[in-house]
Amino acid sequence: MAAFHRLVIEQGATFEERYEIVNDEAVWPIPATWQARAQVRAEPLALAVILDLTEHLAVDHDAGTITLRIPATTTAALDRGGVWDLELYDPGDVDQVYRLLAGTVEVEPEVTR
C-alpha cells in the first residue's frame, strides 16, 4: 500500500524533495532498469493530467532514492492542486509496478512575480 504524502508546491518557486526507498528498515537499491513515474490530476479518475511529474524525477539506483525537482518556470504555471501518486516500475515487465506514495497536491499562490 502506498504511503500518504501531501505535496505543497509554492507557485513560482523551485520544488525539490527526495524520497528514500526503504524495505524492512534498510535502504532498498533500485534495480538498474527500473524507472519512476508520477502525475498530478484533479481527482483520481480524471482523464486530464494537470502536471506530468515523470520528467522531473531522477532515480539514483544505488542509493535507493528518487528525487522530484520541479523548476520554478513549471510551478509558476500551476493554478490548482489535486491528487498525485508515485510509482516505481520495470519497463520490461508490466506486472512489476509498485505504488510508493500517493496523496494530495496543494499549490500555494505566488505573490511576488
Question: pLDDT digits over 13-54, tens only?
Answer: 999 999 998 877 677 789 999 999 999 999 999 999 999 999
State the pLDDT at residue 1: 85
Percent of the chain surpassing pLDDT 70: 99
CA atoms of 38 and 83, how far apart (whole Å): 10
Its pTM stands at 0.93
Q: What cell numbers appear for 83 in the block?
A: 491528487
Is pLDDT of 107 > 90?
Answer: yes
Other beta carbons within 10 angstroms of residue 10's beta carbon come to 15
Contact by Cβ (8 Å): 33, 91? yes
